Structure formats: structure tokens, C-alpha cells
Chain A
């Protein structure tokens, strides 16, 4: 487990030296202790054996990473576009905006679909979270969060609740109610507590568990009813910006991407990192699994999207073009996994042929950066949210 130190003003007896000092919470092998600052300093270099220094450990890690890349390259006997020569090319591709959802007074930051394939929840910079029936464009629920920059929101699988969070460092769950006498904010449940902003959240297979990613560099799994932390995931060296749950049949892993340019696959049960990929040149803003669960795509500030295969344990494709200069903020696959939709900070959406690696189409329409993009659960359309205050459904 990675050790981290955070600052908090508590005074008491240090768990190590037992002196009365100002204490900080410290995580040692996922157990929380309170150390005074001297003991915390000592702990940072704790565990070093003779002849070891932080620098030597760092260089050992680097050399192992190099060896790993070599090993990965040995089994790489063919490129994706070579294999894809046998597949027929996609025909003319036309997608248009079919619905425009106006109602947010500020930048739309995140959105998620309901399992009923037509409702969505979206959150914005001014703290407003809105639930829409996007087919009719009617707003069904609206909640104002007590914080601004609500960067994460999610719809519960049952369709009866939503979760959202942002600069308040928390993830809150709101049950959806149509009762006119009830204020939605009254039944709010604070579930997750991080020490920095919440960047992404997602329900697992039920309404009762939530997975969150935060700017404090960790991901965490929570029990909604009690707010209890079930498992935490340490390993990112910087803010975690996105996560996605695997659609696998034994459903126990998820992938996260962060500012440390790494995409990491985690085992939900043990909290261990199972695989890590570090080929992007900048922050990874979005990760999404391929429908079969054997691979995932990532979108990054380096203006590329990449496909990583989990069984081959390597990057297998890069989706980039010289004319695309701005970072990709969110990615998602079409139902068959043949198309990859990516929203960019240059206000456009690029559609990529996953197998052949070529760009199929570029969609204009938004008047500011595209911040979020999700394909609907039955693959009939996808929805994009933008800093221009609107959401668009394309089909």
C-alpha cells in the first residue's frame, strides 16, 4: 500500500512516539494512524534497507519498467491495422444532433445514462444537477449541490437514485422522488469522503455500492447505506481523473486513469493493482472498456486516444491525427466496439474506426469544449455535454 500524508489540525497523542503533538492522519498498509510530524517524516524514509536510498529505488523501478516493455514487445507479432485489412471499410457516416438539451446555466461537466436508454443525469459548474428525459427533452428533477464544479455524476442501475460530487470532496446520493412535498436535497446521503475533489463516480451492479475516483490520488469503493469504506485503491502518483468498471462476467475489476499518465487496472476485492500502462504523454482524462471487456480505450491531453489490450498486456493502437491539437476529454465505444467516439477540447467530436485506426468522421456543433460523452445503453445514440451549457444527443 502506498503511504500518503495529509494535513489536518488535530492535537493529541502520537500513535508511534506517544508524545502530545499536532497530529496528521497517515495511512500505513491501509490502516489509518495519527502521527506527529517528526514520526511522519521518519516514516517517509522508513523501510529503507542498508545501501538503499530513494534514488536507488527509483532507478530500480525504472529499469524494471524497461524490462517489462521488452517482454511485452516480444509477443507483439502483428499490428492492429494489419489484422484489420480483412475487415471491410465503413461506409459514409452521417450523424446529426437529434436533441439539444438546454437548461444548465453554466458549463456542463459530466453526464450519465439511465438503464432505460432515454433518461440522463447531467451536472454543471454552478452546482446544478439535472435529470432529463432526453427523448422529450423534459427536465424531470433538479438539485442544487452546495458546491460548484460538480465534476462527477452517475445514474443508479435501478433508475431510482443519482450520485454526484465535485469540489466538496464528497460523493452524495440523492434518491429520485416525484413527491411534490419532498425536497430532493432532504433525503441526500453523503457517501464518500475524500481529501480532495471528486473526479469520477460510478455505481457497481447495484444501487448499494459506489466506486469513486478523486484528486487525492486514490479510488475507493463505498457502501451507500452506511457510507462505509469497503476498499481503497492506492497507487496513482497524482490525481485520478476517471474510472470505468469492467463488463466482464466475473465482474471484479475496473480501470482508472490519472494525471500521472498511467492507466491502472484494479482488483476490486483485494485492492491491488493488477496491470498498469504508461504510454500516454499527458494526463488521461477518460477511460472506457471495449464491450468485450478484453481491452480499454483512453483519451488524454496529449490529443491522442489509445487502445490497450489486457491479455496482450500492451498498447495496441493509437488514434491521432496531426490536425488534432487539443486534448481528448472523454471517449466511449459504440455497441459493437467498431467505433470510438471522442470529445475534444477544440469543441469537436471525432469518430474513429477502432480496427483500422482511421478517423471516420468529425462532428461540429458545440461552441465550447466537449467535456463529457457517453453512448446510450442500447447503442442507438450518444450524448455529449459541453462547456457551452448544452447537451446534445447524436444519432
Chain B
């Protein structure tokens, strides 16, 4: 669990940002006018100056940052856990108590961010001092570590003991109050750098990551790197931008439109499964549900993309297209998607299949693409790759979006679905003392057979009905 010398390199430096911010907070706490109220604290017969109470610290945080008491206590606790504030009584536990418990600010010498290597030798000296000062005062885990260190740096043990004795002797020259304070400061430092088992190690930053080049400059920036940046900037400068007012307006519209569909904002019927412990909501909205809810059908009118993303919506759209004799458009689009996201090995076969079915003259499901796109596509088919049908796919997608989709929304088919669609009944809230509803398991998707046609049957299980 050795903290060791702080890792150098960009990533480690970045992670120290929160430490410097904590220091700023702690410094402003010590401001004589705006800071926390300082007082002298009497501990038995010793008087320690410049102490603050836990309660005052929390109050100050509440005032300064306009936050709740819970948050202030949490932030204060983090400051203590990182060793910036230490308790004068019970210095073995780094916890912030919101009462008259006295605390003091850690001296910058011991600040975590100083990157002072908390080396084994120093720790050994500290433990030796503790042991010498009062026999049997080492805690179990400290005794263990002391013994381990003894084995590991046995060759330097004389130095350790000598240093410990010297430091103790020098300490005796000081006033009792100062001695107490220095002891607390040191103890806090070691609590942070060598946390006892069970308490969180706040210095832990993540895996020992070797950056690309183990130097502060992350990567060898060759001339090509800068040229690429310059190229990227030039392209960006030439790009057409949209006014902020237009873009931001779009967020408003999107939020308002989707507000009722957002379970976290508007709840959901029959009830949020995580709150009511009933999976009825998922059953009612399953990808194969025969009777989609009103909200679901409404969503298909938000955008063409939403309609296609819902398997039930897409199936109904396909029915509509069949009536209009343009079902091959959707089939073609689906086949193109399969090509784009399919396995690399299947690309030639899929391209060929699509050509035979949709593009060849006299094909069974010939799609009507404009001549220029068709020419380009046929040209590209000579060397098939997964993106060769992109132009044609986009053309057909836009055709459906601008033409068939608006007609679908105005059609009797869609209006009928909207009228038929119901709103599920809300599940009655359970009232104590009834026991918690058992959480029903569901079959894992990994168990289901590979999907072909979506199953049309299947009512919801759990029994909650649609109004």
C-alpha cells in the first residue's frame, strides 16, 4: 500500500487538480476576516491556539457555497480525510464531527499535494518514535507494518532508531502545546499516506498507466501531427455554422416534446418497475407487444428515426408501405443497414444479394433511385465494400422520410392505432405492512432463439391490464 513518490507525467498532474482546489478552500477558511472563527482550545491543561470546531467548519461551508448541511458535512469530511484538517482529540480517526469537537488546519509542510515522498524510512522512524514514546501504543496494523519494515530495511535500522531518539529529544525541548500539535500533524499525515486497513485510501489514483511516451509531453508530436491540426482548423473555419439561438431553441423543443415520455420527469404507467417492483411496464412496452400504448404510438410521430427504432412502429410502417406498393424501399434500407453493420466476411455476399434483389434490372423488389445515384452505385459495385450502398441508402431513406412518412402519419392506419392505443392503469401503491412484491425473473436474451419474425402474440405477464 505504499504511496511512494508521486508519479510524474500529465495524467498524474491532472489528477492533483482537486488537491489544489481543496487547498484554496482551506486557505480561505483561515482568512482572519472571512474565515472560520478561531479560538484557543483547552485540552486538559494544555491550551492550543488557532483551533476551530467541527460545527463552525460546517457552518462556514454552508454559508460560503450555499449548500445544504449534508453536502457541507460531506465536503468537510473529505477535507479531513485528505489531511487538510485534523482533529485534536481522537486524532486516530479522520472524521468531521459537526459539534464542539476541536480541529486545526494542517501545516502546508504536510499537505498531500506537496508530493513529499512518504518513504518507508520516514514511516519507520515515525512508528519507532511512537513505540518509544509509550510502549504498547502501536495499533495492531502498525505493529505488523513495523515488523515488516524491520525485515525490509534491516540494514538501516540503527539509523531509524537513532533518528527516532533524536527527534523525540528535540521534541522535549518544545512547549507542551506545540508538541501536541506537531504530534497530531504527523499522525494525520501518516493516516493519509498509510491508511489503516479498512479505511479508504484517498491517494489512490488508478492503475499505474504508462502513457504513450513516459515524459510530460504525451506523444512525439511530429510535423504531420501539427499539419493535421492545421488542416482540421482550416476545414473548421470553412464550415457552415448555425446560429446559437436556432440550436438552443431545438433543445427546448426536444425537451418539451419528450417530457411526458421521460419516466424520471413524468413517471410512467403502470408504474416505474424499479419503484413498484413490478415488471408490468416492461411487459406492456415489450418489443413484441401487440397493443402499443398511447405514449408509444405518439412517439412515432416525433421523427422518422423514432418510428424506425421501435420494432412495432416499423412493422406497422411496413404494412402501410405494402398498401402503397413501396415496401421494397424499407426492405432495401434494412438490407443496407445489415451490410453496413455486418461482419466483414459477409460483405461480398450481402452486396451481391442486395444487387440481385433490389438494384438489378428486372429485380423482384426493384427500388426507384434517381439515375445519377444508380449509376454511381453500380459503378461502385465493381469493388464492393460495406459503404458502397451509402448513397443509394440515403436517397431511399430521404424518400421515405419526406414522402411516405408524412403520409403514414396522416393515414387511417396510424390514426386507428392512435385511437385504439390505451393508457395502462396505474399499479396501486403497496402500503405497509404488506411484504415486498417478489422480483420476477425474465428470460435472458442470450437464451432466446435468434430473432426472425417478431412474435405477434404474447400479452403482458404479471396480469396488469391496459385500460
Contact = CB atoms under 8 A, between A and B. Distances in A.
B17 to A, nearest CB: 6
Interface stretch (A14-22, A31-39, A330-338): A330-338
Contact of B224 (A2, A161, A225, A336): A2
Contacts of B446: 159-161, 175-178
Interface in A270-328: 273, 275-276, 281-283, 290-292, 294-295, 301-303, 309, 311-314, 316, 321-323, 325-327
A321 B65 contact: yes
A150 B211 CA distance: 17
B252 A2 contact: no
Given A3-B222, A61-B229, A178-B447, 6 more contacts: A65-B229, A68-B236, A119-B445, A226-B345, A239-B211, A346-B18
B155 interface: no
A224 interface: yes
A67 B235 CA distance: 12
B241 interface: yes
B244 A223 contact: no
Q: Is the interface of B mostly helix, strand, loop or mixed?
A: helix
B251 A355 contact: yes
Contact of A339 (B65, B245, B264): B264
Interface of B: 10-11, 14-15, 17-18, 21-22, 25, 61, 64-65, 67-68, 70-71, 74-75, 78, 200, 204, 206-207, 209-212, 218-230, 232-234, 236-237, 239, 241-252, 254-259, 261-265, 268, 272-275, 279, 281-282, 285, 303-305, 308, 337-338, 340-345, 387, 390, 394, 397, 439-442, 444-447, 451
Interface string A46-80: 11100010100110110011011001100111111
Contacts of B247: 294-295, 309, 311-312, 316
Closest 3 CB pairs of A and B: A159-B445, A336-B258, A336-B262
Interface in A170-199: 175-178, 196-197
Contacts of A86: 252
Given A291-B258, A337-B254, A138 B441 contact: yes
B219 A217 contact: yes
Contacts of B209: 197, 215, 239
A223 B344 contact: yes
A313 B445 contact: no
A303 B313 CA distance: 41
Contact of A67 (B18, B237, B305): B237
Contacts of A144: none
Interface string A201-241: 00011101100000111000001111010100011011100
Interface size class of A (residues with CB under 8 A): 35 or more
Instruction: Report which residue of A45, A64, A204, A235 has the largest number of chain B beta carbons within 10 angstroms of its beta carbon.
Output: A64
Contacts of A43: 222
A311 B242 contact: yes
Contact of A2 (B225, B230, B275, B282): B225
A393 interface: yes
Nearest to B253: A292
A250 interface: yes
A362 interface: yes
B234 to A, nearest CB: 7
A129 to B, nearest CB: 14
